[in-house]
Structure 1
Amino acid sequence: MATLAERLEKCYTGAVFDVLRGRGITDTVLPKDVRPIDPSKTLAGPVFTVKGSPKPGIDGHESLLRWTEFLSQAPEGHVVMSTGQDDERALMGELSAETLQYRGVRGYVTDGGCRDCDFIINIGFPVFARFFTPRDIVGAWTPDSFEEPLDFMGVRINPGDYLIADIDGAVVIPGAIAEDVISEVEKIMETESLVRKAILEGVSPKDAYLQYGKF
């Protein structure tokens, strides 16, 4: 049986947003400048949160030690969401992406930057970031805490929430209603397929909408 993450990965952000909007939840879309390094990838899964911050002048060894501690803790089957309070540095790169992928992490989302993008695209690890830069964290930045609520650019993220991200953007589903929302999205997608089929068979868009109540 497919996991929730696998089911969600077959959905798309527009349908997820529509379902959440129907429940009166509209504040779970990440800002539009969080973009995929590979637009062909859809990322979905339960969230593992990371908070970090700049540490000007920190010893390079110490910064890497703390970074590798994070890599060792990121759990299989999850999406890592990282806030960095940093507009200068890449908070994901080649070796880290390959390590997370090997450990079974589904992907990575950050309000910071990414580097080594060509390599990461080639290995197929989904990363969503705000910008690209060769500047890394060594001697300048560390993760501080894990599995705590995040303020991700104005969107509250709780450990155990679910995220779906694709070419259109990223949406967070509160963990307590994730299964219900995903089931509703799946039903909507089935209905949309019926609407599409009807229109392609000659039914007017208006009549198709009236028949199925969805467009």
Structure 2
Amino acid sequence: MSNTDKNVARAARLDTPTLSDALDKLGILGQCYKIKPRSSDFRMAGRAWTLKYGPAAKPCGTVGDFIDDVAPGSVVVLDNNGREDCTVWGDILTEIAHRRGIAGTVINGINRDTHLCLSLGYPVFSIDHWMRTGKDRVQVEATGVPVNIGGARVAPGDILKGDTDGVVVIPKEHEERVLEIAEQIEAAENRIREAARGGMRLDEARQVNRYHSLQTREGA
């Protein structure tokens, strides 16, 4: 993550449920369905570097030698069309990504060699993990293009945030407003907690802080 990228830093301070609520309020589909961390300890925030896979041709193309082109602080975003029968990420990529300071990896599909990402603390978010290689099964179709991750569109440069609850994408063109609303939601929920700790009834604290409208879509 760049030290000068203030919006990535803002996203890193927020959790995915809060960001999800802000996306809902704006009517933006940014929740990556079924994309989960390989460890509940994983946290990640950064801008998307994208790659799209397709079925292998004959002769077969490569699964990808792209890692040296990814800038430190970026999130590697791999769209393998949700395939769970072959992997597109393993231990060599994990080791190099960790060493290069890449923020994490998000896969619309599966990874393998999970032990290494766990031992290094390198954040990998995917549908699942399994050992079978993607070589001769899939190949790189394009890089730097919009991709589909768990039903959400991810374009190059979008912000991704991942934590225990999964991954959300914040479209670049809406990031300022999404982050602003998420910060407002977080502040309101903190006020509710403090009021309840001080003895106020929860329903009253929620009413005072307009809890039930925090996620309501704007204009609804």
Quick check: TM above 0.5?
yes
Does residue 151 (structure 1) correspond to residue 148 (structure 2)? The answer is yes
Amino acid at match of 2:15: Y
What is the RMSD computed on CA atoms of the aligned residues? 2.1
Alpha-carbon distance in structure 2 between the residues aligned to 1:6 and 1:57: 44
Q: Distance in 2 between matches of 1:142 and 1:2?
A: 32
Partner of 2:48: 47
Describe the SS at the equivalent of 2:211: coil
Give yes or no for the alignment of 1:30 onto 2:29: no
Distance 1:153 1:41, change over 3 A: closer
- The structure 1 segments of at least 4 consecutive aligned residues displaced by more than 6 Å after TM superposition are none
Cα displacement (A) at 1:2: 6.6
Tell me which amino acid in the other structure corresponds to 2:157.
Answer: G
Q: State the AA in 2 paired with 1:125.
A: Y
Q: Aligned ranges for residues 1-215 of structure 1 at < 5 Å? A: 3-25=6-28, 27-32=29-34, 34-55=35-56, 58=59, 63=62, 67-68=64-65, 70-85=66-81, 86-214=83-211
Matched residues in 2 for 1:157 and 1:89: separation?
22
Residues 154 and 130 of structure 1: CA distance in aligned 2, closer, same or farther (over 3 Å): same
Q: 1-side partners of 2:177 and 2:150: how far apart?
A: 26
- In 1, the alpha carbon distance for the partners of 2:210 and 2:126 equals 36
| CA deviation vs aligned residue, 1:129-174 (integer Å, no higher than 9, x gap) | 1121111233433322111111334322211221222222222111
Q: Hey, what's the Cα distance between the residues in 2 that align with 1:136 and 1:58?
A: 17
SS at match of 1:138: coil
Q: Distance in 1 between matches of 2:37 and 2:58?
A: 31
How many correspondences in the alignment? 208
The answer to whether the Cα contact below 8 Å between 2:45 and 2:160 also exists between their aligned partners in 1 is: yes
| Percent of aligned pairs sharing the same letter | 26
Deviations 1:39-60 (A, max 9, x none): 121222211110112326656x
- The structure-2 alpha-carbon separation of the partners of 1:136 and 1:184, relative to structure 1 and needing over 3 Å to count, comes to same
Q: Distance in 1 between matches of 2:25 and 2:138?
A: 40
| 1:76 aligned partner, one-letter code | P
Q: What is the TM-score with the length of structure 1 in the denominator?
A: 0.87
The worse-fitting range, judged by mean Cα deviation, of 5-14 and 131-140 is 131-140
**SS of 1:17 mapped into structure 2:** helix
Q: Alpha-carbon deviations, 1:19-64, whole Å to 9, x = none?
A: 1221222x221122x21101121222211110112326656xx63x
